[in-house]
Amino acid sequence: VDVLDERPGLTFPPAFLWGAATAAYQIEGAAAEGARTPSIWDTFSHTEGRVVNGHTGDVACDHYHRLRDDVALMAELGLKSYRFSVSWPRVQPGGSGAANPQGLDFYSRLVDELLAHDIEPWLTLYHWDLPQELEDAGGWPSRDTAARFADYTTLVADALGDRVRYWTTLNEPWCSAFLGYGSGVHAPGRSNGADAVRAGHHLMLGHGLAVQALRAARPTAEVGVTVNLYPVDPASDAPADIDAARRIDGLANRFFLDPLLRGSYPADLVADLRTVTDFDHVRDGDLATIATPLDVVGINYYSRHVVAAPVEAAEPEPSWREPSCWPGSEDVRFVSRGFPVTDMDWEIDAPGLVETLRRVHEEYTDLPLYVTENGSAFVDTVVDGQVDDVDRLAYFDAHLRACHEAIDAGVPLRGYFAWSLMDNFEWAWGYTKRFGMIHVDYDSQLRIPKSSARWYASVIRRNGLAAQ
Ligand code: PNW
């Protein structure tokens, strides 16, 4: 078989939105500047034992002071869009009350700089940095946090809505709820299954209220939410493995997709969670608010889950177990298939992206879809001032081919954002995992575009992939 036939050139639809993504706490630094107050990630990263090597976002990529240079790098890449997040405690210190003009000014300058380079700003309102004061008042398990989020949204919409067209309310509510309040590996580091479920609900309630606040402030805004999705496969066709896959699919995917896009929680998920919570935090009208109509749906895709039924316990149930991000399904086993993995140990599975996009379109919505994150961590080496990241480049290539396949299958996929523009603070992993197309030297803050960056620039220029 001719290699050229196996890897044909692929052209994407006209006006396909080619972008790259970052998040505030992962790149900005300047944690104590401009009247910003701490978020849960400042507290968490400054707590011993929470983040690898005690790394924090205090300085990160110092993007707060390098905004102009960083936008110039984006322009060199030819990005059509840049997805960034606003730090809530920067624009509304403490999470309530008046806006902080210094915080809003930073994002206003960023938006102006992007527009001056013909780069469409794509603004995410919440990428995990809850003001610490709101966590102290109960955090996302507390209903009032949803109302606070809508109030904050209005401040940002009033200040930036004249120039920002695309708005994402939440980034990956699964991570905020189940890693933040379930396993506790993310901030605020609490571990309680019922709290995680409540947090997930109040995040979605906050999303619905924020959509309404955005509509009121900016009727022409394109509004969406970003969920991280995984295909969940059973390790075998044994009924118990199939049931394990159903349970994990419920917690990982349908917990969010069903309320957001259908206005209800799946009955099987509610039943699976009966030992965890009776859902008494759900009030009349909440699901209608959560399902407030959207304009776009954002999907973050990294890998697939393959799961198997719990092993029959030879020992009696332990009275204490590791905090889990799968409440009620703690014993489900996650199986590796021996596929090549990234430096996160996540199996590389591009066909899973086709399945994910098709599922959302075919089972949930006709709305335009965007891949708002996709990418990979690999160990990079700087040789003669260059980083030849062939693994990362191949990951992007395979997943863009998957995007094209989904489009061919009828999915209204309108854009793709590479995660990430540059190496950054990878949450619990600190600076030890590099996802960037641009290498960052954390001592000098020198930026070096990697091979994947040059390659991505060529993809954007030709609106597609060259034959290989
Ligand atoms: C996403 N998990 O995080 C985030 O949106 C990014 O900020 C992050 O840098 C990127 O993916 C890479 O990790 C996730 O454990 C973190 O399943 C953890 C998980 C999923 C997504």
Give residue 7's pLDDT: 79
Q: Residue 3 in 3-state DSSP? A: helix
Contact 369, 407 (CB under 8 A): no
Q: Quick: pLDDT tens for 281-328.
A: 999 999 999 999 999 999 999 999 999 999 877 666 666 677 999 999
Element at 417 (helix H, strand E): strand 413-419
From 342, 410, 416, 309, select the one nearest 373 (Cα to Cα): 416
Q: Does residue 85 surpass a pLDDT of 60?
A: yes
Element at 40 (helix H, strand E): helix 40-45
Q: What is the mean pLDDT of residues 106-120?
A: 99
Cα 175 to ligand 1 centroid, rounded to whole Å: 7
For the CA of 179, the nearest atom of ligand 1: 15
What is the rounded end-to-end Cα distance, in angstroms, of the chain?
13
From 62, 160, 117, 156, select the one nearest 424 (Cα to Cα): 62
Q: Quick: pLDDT tens for 211-227.
A: 999 999 999 999 999 99
Task: Give dist(CA 7, CA 28) in Å, integer.
Answer: 38
Q: Which of 124, 228, 248, 334 has most ligand 1 atoms within 8 Å of its beta carbon, as the pocket-test mutant?
A: 228
Element at 154 (helix H, strand E): helix 144-160
Contact 275, 247 (CB under 8 A): no
ipTM of the shown complex? 0.89
Contact 276, 269 (CB under 8 A): no
Give the count of beta carbons closer than 10 Å to the beta carbon of residue 428: 19
Q: What is the mean pLDDT of residues 71-75?
A: 99
Identify the residue whose C-alpha is closest to ligand 1 atom 16: 175
- CA torsion, ordered 60, 196, 336, 373, to nearest 10 deg: -40
Q: Quick: pLDDT tens for 158-187.
A: 999 999 999 999 999 999 999 999 999 999
Q: Does residue 3 surpass a pLDDT of 90?
A: no
Q: What is the mean pLDDT of residues 263-267?
A: 98
Query: Which letter does DSSP use for residue 39 in this model?
Result: B
Selecting among 113, 135, 355, 373, the annotated active-site residue is 373
Give residue 395's pLDDT: 98
Our answer to whether residue 222 is catalytic in this structure is no
Task: Give dist(CA 454, CA 386) in Å, integer.
Answer: 11
Give residue 1's pLDDT: 44
Torsion sign over Cα 434, 438, 439, 440: negative
Selecting among 135, 172, 347, 355, the annotated active-site residue is 172
Q: Please work out whether the CB of residue 373 comes within 6 Å of at least one atom of ligand 1.
A: yes
Tokens of 393: 């480049």
Binding residues for substrate: 26, 127, 171, 302, 419, 426-427
Separation in Å, CA 320 to CA 76, 195, 244, 311, 334: 53, 18, 22, 18, 20
Share of the chain above pLDDT 70, in %: 97
Q: What is the mean pLDDT of residues 124-146?
A: 99
Q: Does residue 210 surpass a pLDDT of 90?
A: yes
Q: Does residue 4 surpass a pLDDT of 60?
A: no
Q: Please work out whether the CB of residue 129 comes within 6 Å of at least one atom of ligand 1.
A: no
Give residue 5's pLDDT: 57
Q: What is the mean pLDDT of the chain?
A: 97
Q: What is the mean pLDDT of residues 230-245?
A: 98
Residue count (the chain) = 468
pTM more than 0.90: yes
Element at 24 (helix H, strand E): helix 24-27
Contact 398, 355 (CB under 8 A): no
Identify the residue whose C-alpha is closest to ligand 1 atom 17: 175
Give residue 263's pLDDT: 98
Cα 308 to ligand 1 centroid, rounded to whole Å: 23
DSSP string, 282-309: --TTHHHHHT---SEEEEE----EEEEP
Our answer to whether residue 373 is catalytic in this structure is yes
Q: What is the mean pLDDT of residues 417-426?
A: 99
Q: Does residue 43 surpass a pLDDT of 90?
A: yes
Q: Please work out whether the CB of residue 228 comes within 6 Å of at least one atom of ligand 1.
A: yes
Q: Which is more confidently placed, 5 or 235?
A: 235
Tokens of 42: 């400042």
Give residue 316's pLDDT: 67
Identify the residue whose C-alpha is closest to ligand 1 atom 7: 23
Query: Which letter does DSSP use for residue 54 in this model?
Result: G
